[in-house]
Amino acid sequence: MINRIRDIRRQKGWTLADLAAACAPPTTAQTIGRLETGTRNLSLKWMERIAAALDVDPQMLVRSEGEQTVAIVAMLDEDGPHALETPREAVQPGDLGTADTRMVMQVSASTGAYRAGDQLWLQQITPEEAHRAINRDVLVPRRAGRFAFGRLVDSEPGRIALLPPEPGRKQLIVEDPAWLAVAQTLVRPL
């Protein structure tokens, strides 16, 4: 088995110290480094602690040696593209978050900033957590199997308000939503 902690941590932009502090209970950067390099045994308990801190499924922290991976080959910044000092494995967009709360919305016609062919990877949250998603795009179920989608602009107990992505459309009010799904990743074919 190959340990993927370092790749997931780096993709999130975290340092060893950031991950160590995010663990419950907190640990040291040195311990995280040893777990990443395999000089310390990655037990199931450690997998659960680190996965919770990174907000991923514990099974995402390891992969089999035969599993095909995708490499990050370059970084693009204000100075243009440049090679990485050390190779890194890319974490697939669907690999972030827990499997039971992930979902995807496919865009079939250009709408606002979204283009036909885009996929929006979403993470489901409870209505009580809606305050975390203010000013983010969310998908919300409505009655009769319909959905509402837009920028979350207000959240009160039992009621949320969305601005649709199309300019000139009226604000939508959804009463007692069962859940919300926050847009996490945009996958756009070129």
Domains assigned to the chain: 2-91 (1.10.260.40), 99-187 (2.10.109.10)
Q: What is the pLDDT of residues 146-168, one digit of tens each?
A: 898 999 999 999 999 999 988 88
Reference 126, options 140, 105, 146; nearest CA is: 140
Residue, of 101 and 168, whose pLDDT is higher: 168
Q: What is the pLDDT of residue 100?
A: 59
Q: What is the pLDDT of residues 104-148, one digit of tens each?
A: 888 888 888 888 888 888 888 999 999 989 999 999 998 888 898
Q: What is the pLDDT of residue 123?
A: 87
The residue length of the chain stands at: 190
* pLDDT range class, residue 57, cuts 50, 70, 90: confident
- Containing 156, the helix (H) or strand (E) segment is strand 147-156
The upper half-sphere exposure of residue 144, i.e. CA atoms within 13 Å in the direction of its Cβ, equals 0
Structure tokens that stand for 160 in this block: 């949320």
Q: Is the pLDDT of residue 99 over 70?
A: no
Phi and psi at 167, nearest 5°, equal -65, 145
Q: What is the pLDDT of residue 91?
A: 64
Neighbours of 60 (CB within 10 A): 21
Which residue carries 């604000």 as its tokens? Answer: 171
Q: What is the mean pLDDT of residues 82-93?
A: 67
Residue, of 124 and 73, whose pLDDT is higher: 124
Phi and psi at 94, nearest 5°, equal -75, -5
* pLDDT more than 90, % of the chain: 43
Q: What is the pLDDT of residues 38-53, one digit of tens each?
A: 899 999 999 999 999 9
Q: How far is CA 159 from the centre of its chain?
A: 25
How many whole angstroms separate alpha carbon 47 and alpha carbon 147? 36
Radius of gyration of the chain (CA): 19
* pLDDT range class, residue 90, cuts 50, 70, 90: low
How many whole angstroms separate alpha carbon 80 and alpha carbon 54? 29
